A and B are shown apart, each in its own frame.
Chain A
């Protein structure tokens, strides 16, 4: 009986001297450049298609970018070993702060968004500071509860508009601003975080995930690094929140909703954890998919969940890791002697 097996060969560029890759042809340059340039170009072109696909799908693009930012923020925390179930905390903090600055001080969006991003990130870091010692599921539980708790606080004390929320906030200047700001923020976060995690600083963060005791015995204050990571992750989330506040011209208790915690997590798991590109791909699959399925009415959630289960069971490594493996390796079937 003749048997076959699949053989995988790396397609990588082999000439490696110190830290630079020696590229010998346009083909090799293209090989490296294409997967990085493709999403950049695609994301920059998408907003220009608003005449073609209509305003509805442009709105979907904006929401997708916001969710992708939250998913990236989840992935950054995960690379420090902090499994979060509460991206809504970051989103809500940014959203409410932007609303508060706008209504109380009358600041325009180009002031409220940066201040809400930094202020929200600071608040979230301070809130999470006492629980940075917790690991695994204990940290997850605390982060899951915090946004729900804050929503109830707002409901009970009627601060920040209470259950009504704050409406009639300043709109964003124009449609181009609305479309390009989230797209560019997403690209900056995606490539920025990817670069960061491969620097020496990022190695420390990954070390904390893999073995925090060894990092501690290396004379490194892991809580400081964890707090910095939370700050960066929270900034990405808070930006998304602040932007969406001005986009909707409204902020209310839904900013702390469970959706903003769970959806980014699903995006990250579907797209592939630990690469930052994975969560973005996940968001660009899941959010538009959920819009496409609207035609099915109530059955939407059923189809959505079914697709999600199939993807997670079929590609447990994540879409991104699957694609990148296919891109970097030749596969051929060889006969077993």
Chain B
């Protein structure tokens, strides 16, 4: 149980996941304080997305525990985990292409979690959706929120994905490579949104390849390689760690 004063929101204890012969995640532990922004880095195939999938329930762990707000959520169904307040973006954006952008948000708005948070009132979901889209940088008075998702540029789709998460009013936000495929200017306009959300007290885990942007906002970084945690600490400590240098530069140095 959560002790008083202990403000840990997420505690991952030695989770492992094996796909056939490949150990995707190997005994990784991490913890996250309320309001903290944790960065997860690592080369391709180091198990970052699998780690996200383990926490959000899309993949069942072989061993280990995931404790969220003092509650064991290991092996729960994804919709139950997100109903508890963990929202995630997907690395591969897959919006509902045949719907206008704002209608994409109707779906999470329909969930029991959001209905409870809004006091059981149905209200006008379309208005709420437009407000949320404005929050992630869809120009309110333009046509953009009303455009079909299929006709939006990639950067907008990524931000739509972010808005879909915010719809749930999450307590923990997990961003799985939100910046991948975004242009420099799109990143520059999205980063302040994340800083603001974190500033408002939202706990965030960011899986990211854009290290410079990540290091600007993250409080703490963990680095993965071959499914194992190889470094943890402030951005500066992690970049100076030999293991991380070896993992990124591919030198023969031992772990």
Query: B-contacting residues of A (Cβ < 8 Å)?
Result: 19, 200-201, 203-204, 206-207, 210-211, 213-222
Q: Which residues of B contact A203 (CB under 8 A)?
A: 96, 99, 103, 106-107, 110
B82 touches A215 (CB 8 A): no
Among A19, A217, A220, the residue within 8 A (CB) of B88 is A217
Tell me whether chain A's interface is mostly helix, strand or loop, or mixed: helix
Q: Total contacts A to B, CB within 8 angstroms? A: 80
Q: Confirm or deny: B98 has a beta carbon within 8 angstroms of a beta carbon on chain A.
A: yes
Among B95, B103, B113, contact of A219 (Cβ-Cβ < 8 Å): B113
A221 to B88, CA, bound (A): 16
Contacts of B111 in A (CB 8 A): 218-220
- Asked if A214 contacts B82 (CB within 8 A), the reply is no
Cβ contacts under 8 Å, B79 to chain A: 216-222
Interface string of B85-106 (1 = CB under 8 A from A): 0011010001111110001001
Cα distance A148–B107 in the bound complex, in angstroms: 37
CB A50 to nearest CB in B, in angstroms, measures 42
Across the interface, A218 reaches (CB within 8 A) one of B80, B94, B103, B168, namely B168
Q: How large is the interface on B (under 10, 10 to 19, 20 to 34, 35 or more residues)?
A: 20 to 34
Residues of chain B touching chain A, judged by Cβ–Cβ distance below 8 Å, are 56, 58, 77-80, 82-83, 87-88, 90, 94-99, 103, 106-114, 125-126, 164-165, 167-168
A4 to B110 CA separation, bound complex (whole angstroms): 48
Complex partner residue of A214 from B80, B114, B164, CB under 8 angstroms: B164
Quick check: A206 and B98 within 8 Å, CB to CB?
A: yes
The 7 closest A-B pairs by CB, nearest first: A218-B108, A219-B111, A219-B82, A219-B83, A207-B107, A216-B78, A219-B113
Given contacts A203-B103, A219-B111, A220-B108, contact A213 B94 (CB under 8 A): yes
Given contacts A213-B78, A216-B78, A220-B108, 18 further A-B contacts (CB under 8 A): A200-B109, A200-B110, A203-B99, A203-B110, A204-B107, A206-B98, A207-B96, A207-B107, A211-B94, A211-B95, A213-B90, A214-B96, A215-B107, A216-B58, A217-B56, A217-B79, A219-B83, A219-B112
